[in-house]
Structure 1
Amino acid sequence: MRVTVCCGTCLENEEKLAKTARAIGNALAKNHIELVYCAPLAGLMREIVKGVFEKEGAVTGIYPSGSFAEDLPPIVTGSSTYTEFYTDTREEQTQQLLEMSDAYLVLPGGFGTLEELSSVCTFLTLGPLPGKPIGVLVNEGLKDGLKPLLTMFEAWAELPETLFFLSDVESLIQRLAAKGSGKECLAG
């Protein structure tokens, strides 16, 4: 199973959020879920990748050609797996992210994170990705303001079964895994 993580690349004195990001990476690897991402390896994303590698999990990076070259992960040791894909445009990159993943996880971020969430929601409601779950981590860095914002859009009515908000990392990862695989979930 693969999960695309949408999050910010800046950590401004967010030590607790960095620990949460590392815990997410650990939980993904522990549950045999491959991380898929498309950002520079900085901030929250760096911590998530470190967490996955700590538990010898799998990571796939999708980059527009020529972008983020200096930010790619260090050489992976142990039984961790790292794969890179390159695309010609940002649009192709987004398409790859959407198609490659079984579920999506949203953490605090900026406009890029919001754009990625919007693309996923658009493809779920209008395109070829019905039923893929989207989990949003609600904590110190991502307050409850996102849910009221999303409810302003008409398409919200089409997402309640696939879009969910949780504050507990383990429950969030388990629910993504269960919904992404089509199995029942006891958590969350």
Structure 2
Amino acid sequence: MAAICVFCASSRTLDRRFLDLATATGAEIARRGHTVVSGGGCVGMMGALADGARAAGGPTLGVIPQALVDLEVADLKSDELLVTDSMASRKTLMIEKSDAFLTLPGGLGTLDELFEVWTTATLALHAKPMVLVDADGFYRPLMDWLTVLADQHFLKPAGLDLLTVVDSVPAALDAIESRLT
């Protein structure tokens, strides 16, 4: 079916609930017959995501820069692991290899990836679905700020509308699947 890229944290110090969310996300993507595309790491939510997908019988594709392979955080169990020369080329390849994007809670790297795909969508460089999972209001302050940007004309309302915001993984996948058919 579809290759769904998931952006999420790779921190090793997260609350269990975030790891559980990532595991459940991977499992649900696999259960629905899709491939998980990730940043290719084996730690934090990223590792839990891939493990969840594989445990549910789904394929995984990881895209990771050589510098992170050298730090021994690569998901070597990935069905396919693509190694790039930089973080920038990693994002480009993740966008090329994916049919849709789902963002879970995360930090700067996650936001960087989200904003990269969102910005390229606003420039009409792709029309792939983008869904943000606002689990327990995690992204509410960000979305409030982005609404202010739109209100002050720094962001066109049409650009804001390109991102679908939901509160659960099943709703995120429903939104993605409705756009892919």
Q: TM-score, normalised by structure 2?
A: 0.86
Q: In 2, Cα distance between the equivalents of 1:177 and 1:33?
A: 10
The number of equivalent residue pairs is 175
Letter of the aligned partner of 1:101 in structure 2? Answer: S
Q: Percent identity?
A: 24
How far is the alpha carbon of 1:160 from its aligned partner?
A: 4.7
- Per-residue Cα deviation, 1:76-117 (whole angstroms, up to 9, x for no partner): 7xxxxx101122222211111112111111111111111111
> Would you say 1:111 and 2:108 are equivalent positions?
yes
CA separation of 1:48 and 1:72: change in aligned 2, threshold 3 A = same
Q: In 1, Cα distance between the equivalents of 2:133 and 2:34?
A: 17
Q: In 2, Cα distance between the equivalents of 1:141 and 1:148?
A: 11
Letter of the aligned partner of 1:122 in structure 2? Answer: T
> Would you say 1:71 and 2:73 are equivalent positions?
yes
Partner of 2:166: 166
Q: In 2, Cα distance between the equivalents of 1:15 and 1:45?
A: 13
CA contact (8 A) 2:35 2:59 kept: yes
CA separation of 1:143 and 1:119: change in aligned 2, threshold 3 A = closer
Higher deviation after alignment, 89-98 or 140-149: 140-149
The 5-angstrom pairing of residues 55-134 of structure 1 reads 55-69=56-70, 70-75=72-77, 82-129=79-126, 131-134=127-130
Letter of the aligned partner of 1:27 in structure 2? Answer: E
Q: TM-score, normalised by structure 1?
A: 0.83
SS of 1:68 mapped into structure 2: helix
How far is the alpha carbon of 1:161 from its aligned partner?
A: 4.5
In structure 2, the gaps of 5 or more residues are none
Q: In 1, Cα distance between the equivalents of 2:4 and 2:101?
A: 5
Q: In 2, Cα distance between the equivalents of 1:116 and 1:145?
A: 18
Q: Which runs of 4+ in 1 moved over 4 A?
A: none
Higher normalized helix content (fraction of residues): 2
